[in-house]
Structure 1
Amino acid sequence: MTPDSLVTLRQHLENRLRALPAEARRLLHGRGRCWPGLEQVTIDWLEGLLLVQLFREPPAEWLDELRSMLLTLGGLPGWAAGGGQGILLQHRYLADSHTEYLLGEPVEQWTITENGLRYRLDLGVRQNSGLFLDMRHGRRWVQAQAQGKRVLNLFAYTCGFSVAAIAGDAKHVVNLDMARAALSRGRENHRLNGHAVDRVSFLGHELFKSWGKVKKLGPYDLVIIDPPSFQKGSFVLGKDYPRVLRRLPELLGRQGLVLSCVNDPEVGPDFLIEAMAAEAPGLVFRQRLENPVEFPDIDPDSGLKAMVFARENA
């Protein structure tokens, strides 16, 4: 976080404001380490709102200059032309992820669009807003694969994959997440898109205590596994991911597909390939989905890994 990095950031944002995307998109992914001095900064365009996130506490002078620079954006022609309404600065390095509203009225909920589908976000009240933009291609892939399928969405969070699956005419989707508030937002996301929720189940349970119920609702044609890298008291990636994978043979139908994901920069794609071979050897690696171009990374193996596996005879 240097003075030169602020100049770079301003120039980048001024360029992006000249042609803002119609849907929600990341405008700057500093965490991919392609922007020297901005490694702890991300900026998202949320269809009227600019969300700036800091993942490490910056020097006080740099922070003051950042605030001033962001405020000047509201006076640029592209801001009004693109429908700009507010600028938020979120301090993710703080325990409460404090959010400042630099421009515009405070707003706690906001609706965005992705691939023509609508999602409700929480802003300024939680660490994460409710939709991870780097998984855009994953949701699009699920929508394309879902027709007529029974889908199991593990670690469902706010059910973005479920919304995509029902939009793709899935027969039924089972969402499981221990955070019931997140599942409630998932129901709302389905309603935003006019989906009949009689084809969707919401299980607010801890996964490792609920295998019997999950299996009873199967078998599944598509299983989605997108866990947190670490969740205190419930999930540790290296220890618990293999425990999930070894259950797949009893959950999947004969032509079953698996979308297995991990977003820990310290864990490469080989982790999933090797763990799947050890725990569910009947499933073979088919492809890794490309990440959106707006999420560049100096090391592709550090970015999101969304890996497709299939039954060996599929």
Structure 2
Amino acid sequence: MSTEFTELLASAWHNRRELLASLHAENTNCYRLFHGSVEGAAGLTVDRYGDLLLVQTFHAPASPERLAAIAAFYGEQLPGLALVYNDRSSPNSRIRNPLEGAELAAAELPRVVSEMGVSYLIQARHAGQDPWLFLDLRAGRRRVMQEAAGKSVLNLFAYTCGVGVAAAKAGAAHVVNVDFAELSMATGKQNAKLNDLPIRVRFVQSDVFAAIRQYSGLGQPTMVRGKRMPSFPKLEPHQFDLVFLDPPKYAKSPFGVVDLVNDYPALFKPALLSTREGGTLICCNNVAQVEREPWLDQLQRSAAKAGRTIRDVEWITPEADFPSSDGLPPLKMVLLRV
């Protein structure tokens, strides 16, 4: 069992040789080393974040033998990394496996990693559950950096503001990050401070619906379904050159529900109306069961109803450390020229 598993790790390592050389050359030291759902161990991922080796399980806890095999293999290939294991296999679980002493201190240690020359803060254990930088979104951040110079950028569901910070680093003229979570915004502000940014990036802690309804000119209702809305930051109508929309799979909001399976247009319309004519809107959908062509058709129909034309479509595919067995990865990213 251990030998067979080590062979899986070795095969994944071999398949990434050219990619890792390319990433290292552009000052990137964070990437996925083992993508278990495709590479032979469903529910297991191994990621490098600088000097951190982050192992996560999503279906069942990893056995001590398997963790030992991971430590031994990457200890030889990438010596000196600190291994932290997060078991996330229980429904609605927080990180379950207990740590204490030096192990807990290592897991809670703030670390700085680099991606395409942009610095980001990482912590293996924190008050949330997801890593502070989603590695499969690297292709999206790369595309934003290629587009951002001289443009105004709106980063919606910004999380730790990786897209916004990357845009500012690439020469954007104006960047606004919007997210409701206080911890995410605080981490985003630290990410901005880590980089020598040429502009002052703006952070708006707000329900995204409330923000984009104001930016789009749709207005912010004071009552929804008979309930008075809480107070949100007041924002003037404004259209941006580039809007990045990366909502979570499902979340409740005072304005309704974020539902990427059944009601993506509820977010798409105000995001589209917050994008200037001739601008660019990049939409993400990370729900595996949503097929990309029907989803794109939904976006095109929603745009037509809003009186806007999609002039061009470009799919952005996660990079090679996130292999897909059928060429249709769960994370779908589409760039729309509107």
With the shorter chain as reference, the TM-score category is 0.7 to 0.9
Cα distance between partner residues in 1 of 2:323 and 2:142? 19
Secondary structure at the aligned position of 1:56 is classed as coil
Secondary structure at the aligned position of 1:68 is classed as helix
Cα distance between partner residues in 2 of 1:140 and 1:253? 22
Kindly provide the CA deviation profile for residues 208-256 of structure 1, in whole angstroms up to 9, marking residues without a partner as x. Answer: 2333543425211111111111235552213442012222453222211
Correspondence list, 1:127-206, <5 A: 127-195=129-197, 198=200, 200-206=201-207
Higher mean C-alpha deviation, range 263-272 or range 131-140: 263-272
- Cα 1:165/1:217, change in 2 over 3 Å: farther
Higher mean C-alpha deviation, range 299-308 or range 182-191: 299-308
- Cα 1:271/1:223, change in 2 over 3 Å: farther
Q: What amino acid is aligned across from residue 106 of structure 1 in structure 2?
A: A
Q: Which runs of 5+ in 1 are unaligned?
A: none
Does the CA contact (< 8 Å) of 1:273 and 1:285 recur in 2?
Answer: no
Kindly provide the CA deviation profile for residues 55-94 of structure 1, in whole angstroms up to 9, marking residues without a partner as x. Answer: 1114xxx612113323434763x443xxx23111110113
- Cα 1:11/1:302, change in 2 over 3 Å: closer
Number of aligned residue pairs: give it.
299
Correspondence list, 1:1-314, <5 A: 5-12=4-11, 22=24, 23-31=29-37, 33=38, 35-36=39-40, 38-58=41-61, 63-73=63-73, 76=76, 78-80=77-79, 84-94=80-90, 95-99=93-97, 106-108=106-108, 109-125=110-126, 126-195=128-197, 198=200, 200-215=201-216, 216=236, 218-232=238-252, 234-281=257-304, 282-311=309-338
Secondary structure at the aligned position of 2:63 is classed as helix
- Cα 1:251/1:57, change in 2 over 3 Å: same
Q: Which runs of 5+ in 2 are unaligned?
A: 217-235
Q: What amino acid is aligned across from residue 207 of structure 1 in structure 2?
A: V
Secondary structure at the aligned position of 1:72 is classed as helix
Kindly provide the CA deviation profile for residues 256-309 of structure 1, in whole angstroms up to 9, marking residues without a partner as x. Answer: 111111111111212431122111121244210132011111122243211011
Q: CA RMSD in A?
A: 2.8
Q: TM-score, normalised by structure 1?
A: 0.85
Cα distance between partner residues in 2 of 1:161 and 1:16? 27
Secondary structure at the aligned position of 1:283 is classed as coil
Cα distance between partner residues in 2 of 1:210 and 1:10? 44
Secondary structure at the aligned position of 2:328 is classed as helix
Secondary structure at the aligned position of 2:261 is classed as helix
Higher mean C-alpha deviation, range 212-221 or range 119-128: 212-221
Q: What amino acid is aligned across from residue 139 of structure 2 in structure 1?
A: H
